[in-house]
C-alpha cells in the first residue's frame, strides 16, 4: 500500500530514531460541508514510545505535509532517556560509528579530562584499565604524563588556528593571584565582538615563577599574545590599580602596535 512506503523509507534512513517507537497508521475522516457525508481526509502516522507508552507523549505526523523532519521525535527520545536515567541513546549511536584507533582514543581521553574536569591520573586506575580492555582488548591506555604532553600539543595546534577570530580587534582583562600552595598564576581573559554579539574566553592561565614586577608580567603577557598571534590585535586592557600594573601598561603600550597605552587602560571598580 502507498501509505506504507514512507514508513519503509523512514525506518531505513533513521532506524535508531524510528526504532524507538511503535508506529501505526490511521485514516482520518471529515464531514463534507456540502453533502454532510463522512469522507476521507488524510493519513496520520502515530508514534508510540516502546519503552514507556503510558507516560511518554504520543507523536503524530501527517502524510504529504512536506515535513519529514525528526526534530520532535528526537526531542521525545531524549526526554524519555532523561526520565529513565539512561544515556542519550541517539548520541550513543553516533559515537558507535567512530572507528577505534589509538590516536583517536588518546584525543578523546584528553577531551574527556578537560571538559569533565578529570585528573589525568584517572587513566592509571586499574578499574579503568579493566573497563577499557573489556571493551577493546588491544587498546593502549596512555600514561598520565602522555596525556599531559598530548594536551600541550593540542593546545599548541589550537593557538595557531584561532587568530582569525580576532581580526576585528580584541580586548584583555588581566589579573594575577596565588593559590594556597603559593603557586602564582596570571589569568588572561580575551573579549571580542562577532556581529552584534560580545564574547569572552580565558585565553591563557600562565604560571608565574618570578617576582610580579611590571616588566616580568609584560614579558609573560607578550609571550602569550605571540603564541596566539595577537600582538597586532589588542586594543585595550583592563587591570586593577596595583602600581606594578602601571609599569605593565607602559611596556604593553610600547610593544603592542594598536594599544595606545594608559589612554586605553581600563581599571577595576569595587561593587
123-177, pLDDT tens digit by residue?
999 999 999 999 999 999 999 999 999 998 888 777 777 777 777 789 999 998 7
- Where is the domain boundary, 113, 136, 161? 161
Helix axes 144-159, 102-115, angle to 10 degrees: 80
Residue 64, domain member (yes or no): yes
pLDDT at position 10 is 52
Q: Read off the pLDDT band of 190 (50, 70, 90).
A: very high
Do 180 and 250 have their domain in common?
yes
Tell me whether residue 89 is in a domain. Answer: no
Q: How far apart are CA 235 and CA 193, in angstroms?
A: 12
Under 8 Å CB-to-CB from 105, ≥6 apart: which residues?
Answer: 139, 140
Provide the 3-class DSSP secondary structure of residue 60.
Answer: strand
Residues 186 and 206 in one domain: yes
> Do 186 and 257 lie in a common domain?
yes
Distance of CA 236 to the CA centre of its chain: 28
Q: What is the pTM of this model?
A: 0.55
Same domain? 145 vs 233 = no
Which residue pairs from 37-44 have beta carbons closer than 8 angstroms and sit at least 24 positions apart in sequence?
A: 43/3
List the single range of 5-14, 33-42, 115-124, 221-230 with lowest mean pLDDT: 5-14
pLDDT of residue 121: 96
Query: Is the same domain home to 157 and 180?
Result: no
- What local confidence, expressed as pLDDT, does residue 1 receive? 43
3-class SS of residue 85: coil
Rounded CA gap, 42 and 7, in Å? Answer: 16
User: What is the β-pairing status of strands 21-31 and 38-49?
Assistant: antiparallel
Does the pLDDT at position 95 exceed 50? no
Residue 197 scores a pLDDT above 60:
yes
Q: Kindly report the CATH number assigned to the domain that includes residue 231.
A: 3.30.420
Residue 262 phi/psi, 5-degree rounding, is: -60, -30
pLDDT the model gives residue 170: 92
Residues 6+ apart with CB under 8 A from 14: 70
Model confidence at 67: pLDDT above 60: no
Whether 116 maps to a domain, the answer reads yes
Nearest to 55 by CA among 78, 33, 83, 31: 83
| Percentage with pLDDT > 90 across the chain | 37
- Ranges of beta strands (E only) in the chain are 21-31, 38-49, 59-62, 170-178, 184-194, 197-208, 234-239, 265-267
Q: What is the pLDDT of residues 108-122, one digit of tens each?
A: 999 899 889 999 999
pLDDT tops 70 at residue 3: no
- A 10 A CB-CB count for 42 gives 13
Residue 269: pLDDT band by 50, 70, 90 thresholds? low
- Which own/partner pairs from 12-16 qualify as long-range (CB within 8 Å, at least 24 positions apart)? 14/70, 16/89, 16/90, 16/93
Whether residue 218 has pLDDT greater than 90: yes
Same domain, yes or no: 108 and 27: no
Question: Is there a single domain that holds both residue 172 and residue 263?
Answer: yes
How many independent structural domains does the chain possess?
3
Domain that holds residue 213: 168-267
Q: Same domain, yes or no, for 66 and 43? A: yes
Q: How many residues does the chain have?
A: 271
Mean pLDDT of 175-192: 85
Residues 6+ apart with CB under 8 A from 160: 229
Q: Is the pLDDT of residue 47 over 50?
A: yes
Amino acid at each position: 500500500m502507498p501509505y506504507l512506503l514512507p514508513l519503509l523509507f523512514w525506518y531505513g534512513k533513521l532506524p535508531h530514531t524510528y526504532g524507538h517507537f511503535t508506529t501505526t497508521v490511521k485514516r482520518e475522516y471529515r464531514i463534507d460541508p456540502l453533502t454532510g457525508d463522512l469522507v476521507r481526509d488524510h493519513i496520520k502516522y502515530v508514534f508510540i514510545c516502546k519503552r514507556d507508552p503510558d507516560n511518554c507523549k504520543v507523536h503524530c505526523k501527517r502524510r504529504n505535509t512536506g515535513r519529514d523532519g525528526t526534530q520532535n521525535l528526537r526531542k521525545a527520545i531524549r526526554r524519555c532517556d532523561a526520565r529513565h536515567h539512561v544515556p542519550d541513546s541517539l548520541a550513543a549511536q553516533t559515537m558507535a560509528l567512530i572507528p577505534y584507533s589509538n590516536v583517536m582514543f588518546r584525543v578523546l581521553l584528553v577531551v574527556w579530562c578537560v571538559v569533565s574536569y578529570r585528573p589525568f591520573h584517572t587513566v592509571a586506575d586499574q578499574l579503568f584499565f579493566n573497563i577499557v580492555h573489556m571493551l577493546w582488548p588491544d587498546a593502549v591506555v596512555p600514561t598520565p604524563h602522555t596525556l599531559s604532553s598530548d594536551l600541550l600539543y593540542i593546545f599548541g595546534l589550537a593557538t595557531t588556528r584561532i587568530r582569525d577570530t580576532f581580526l576585528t580587534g580584541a580586548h584583555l582583562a588581566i589579573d594575577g593571584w596565588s593559590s594556597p600552595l603559593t603557586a602564582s598564576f596570571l589569568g588572561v581573559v580575551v573579549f571580542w565582538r562577532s556581529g552584534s554579539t560580545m564574547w569572552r574566553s580565558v585565553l591563557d592561565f600562565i604560571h608565574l615563577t618570578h617576582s610580579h614586577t611590571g616588566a616580568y608580567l609584560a614579558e609573560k603577557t607578550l609571550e602569550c599574545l605571540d603564541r596566539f598571534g595577537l600582538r597586532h590585535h589588542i586594543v585595550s586592557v583592563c587591570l586593577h590599580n596595583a602600581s606594578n600594573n602601571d609599569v605593565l601598561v607602559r611596556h604593553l603600550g610600547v610593544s603592542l602596535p594598536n594599544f595606545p597605552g594608559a589612554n586605553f587602560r581600563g581599571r577595576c571598580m569595587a561593587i
